[in-house]
Structure 1
Amino acid sequence: MEQVTIDVYKFEELGTEAKDKAVSYYRENWMDHNWWDSTYEDFITILNLLGFTPSTTTRHTTKGKSYEEPNIFFSGFWSQGDGASFEGYFTISETLKAVEQLKTHVGEDAVLHGIAESIQVTSQACLEALGAGWPEALGSCVIRITRPGSPRYSHEMTMDVDMEPVFDEIAYQLGDDYDKFDKHAIVNTYGEAMLSHARSLARWLYKALESDYEAQTSEEAIGDSYAANEVRFLEDGSIFSR
């Protein structure tokens, strides 16, 4: 029987080229988990505070269990068409509280504060433009954010807004007088503005995901992960299999 002695190294003991190889291996093979979960959770909280609720899709596991997956999408971070988007719904009444609710959660994020203020101002202006009697009737209407046509890309421009519930409520309230309703432009302008705000939120999400990915795949973070898992390497940066 012949014994062979092999020198193995900790990540921090590797040379530059060997470290680069170990880092690349980690990024290609150890990032296949849902590393974005915490960013999604924070984004869902932010959406809720702003008056939005992401829709979900029921998924089934191989063990016969089911769970609800939020309809949030992204691809990244280096190709044309990369970005983030989401599907869901909101009500005017909930968006009227956007600023107050958000500030208690996100602190000094100027971008989110600006989006929240724009959402609140847009909703208030719409109700005021419609005139007396409409805020209560329309405030609880569910307005859907959609991604029509099952787009192949994930960026924010795949999102659209469905204003039909608002017009349905107006028709219900006015009955035979609906033909006299002359404020379609106000409602449509509101929908377009809210879609713009939703797309701004999707852009914020994409940048948050990109930042999170870069943090998790930095050389320092990867080195910490290797150390925590007591991984050892050959001199060239290949992982040593015990």
Structure 2
Amino acid sequence: MRVAVKETTVYGFDELPDETKEKVLRNLRGINVGDSFWHECIFDDIKEIGKLIGIDIDNIYFSGFWGQGDGACFEGSYSYRNGSVKAVKEYAPMDKELHKIALSLSKAQRKGFYQSTAVIKHRGHYYHKMGTEIWVDNYYDYDYDAICGGLRSFMDWIYRRLEKEYEYLTSDDSIKNTIEANEYEFDSNGKIYS
């Protein structure tokens, strides 16, 4: 019997030719989003922000990105929360869109003497904002649409937040960071050497 040893030259990412680097990036495009963990911390943050606004989120659903029916929605309940606009501005001082959503819901509640509540349920096959039913209680005609609109704007905001994170995690820079953090090495064809 004889033991044959095959010698393989391995390269760090930066040592690869540009064409092979592009191939590696293409092949590893989903490395940071291959499981559901990539969005769990965002979901946690969204639920915290929802609480500040008065939204108790039970479930978040989304599909994406860049296809028909893509979007985000949630199931839960909504009621007025005193100081919501201030709390959101303190929590996310740079997010003007989120400030507008909190303000629109607060204004809608003011018209109805802060008594309106809502229950939000997913329905159908799609996960965008129109894939929900919203039941509003204790409302006046003038605040129903504003409350539904504010809640659906929050759903759009959730989708954009997820999309932005997805785009970052699938970017060349993020993939390079993952390669570096895991100290991956490659063969001359760009396959991870193990």
Q: Does 1:234 align with 2:187?
A: yes
Give the Å deviation of 1:236.
Answer: 1.8
1:147 to 122, 128, 133: 122
TM-score (norm 2): 0.89
1:26 corresponds in structure 2 to: 28
Partner residue of 1:216? 169
Which of 189, 193, 203 aligns to 2:156? It is 203
Structure 2: 5+ residue stretches without partners: none
Secondary structure of the 1:154 match is coil
Equivalent pair of 1:17/1:236 in contact (CA under 8 Å): no
Q: Which runs of 4+ in 1 moved over 3 A?
A: none
1:85 matched to which residue of 2?
Answer: 73
Residue equivalent to 1:104: 90
2:135 to 142, 145, 162: 162
Percent of paired sites with the same residue = 31
| Alignment partner, residue 60 of structure 1 | none
How much has 1:54 moved relative to structure 2? 0.5
**Distance (whole Å) between structure 2 residues aligned to residue 122 and residue 79 of structure 1:** 32
Name the aligned partner's letter for residue 6 of structure 1. Answer: T
Which of 101, 104, 119 in structure 2 is aligned with 1:118?
104
By how many angstroms is 1:108 displaced? Answer: 2.0
CA contact (8 A) 1:51 1:97 kept: no
Which structure is larger by alpha-carbon Rg, 1 or 2? 1
Q: Are 1:39 and 2:42 an aligned pair?
A: yes
- Sort the Cα spacing of 1:29 and 1:72 in 2 relative to 1 into closer, same or farther, 3 A: same
Q: Distance in 2 between matches of 1:54 and 1:30?
A: 26
Q: Deviations over 1:15-52 (max 9, x none)?
A: 23322222233234552222011211111111000011
Matched-pair contact (CA < 8 Å) for 2:32–2:175? no
Aligned-partner SS, 2:67: coil
* 1:1-16 alignment runs, 5 A limit: 1-16=3-18
* CA-CA distance at 1:98 after TM superposition: 1.8
Alpha-carbon distance in 1 for matches of 2:180, 2:46: 30
What do you get for the CA RMSD once the two structures are aligned? 1.9
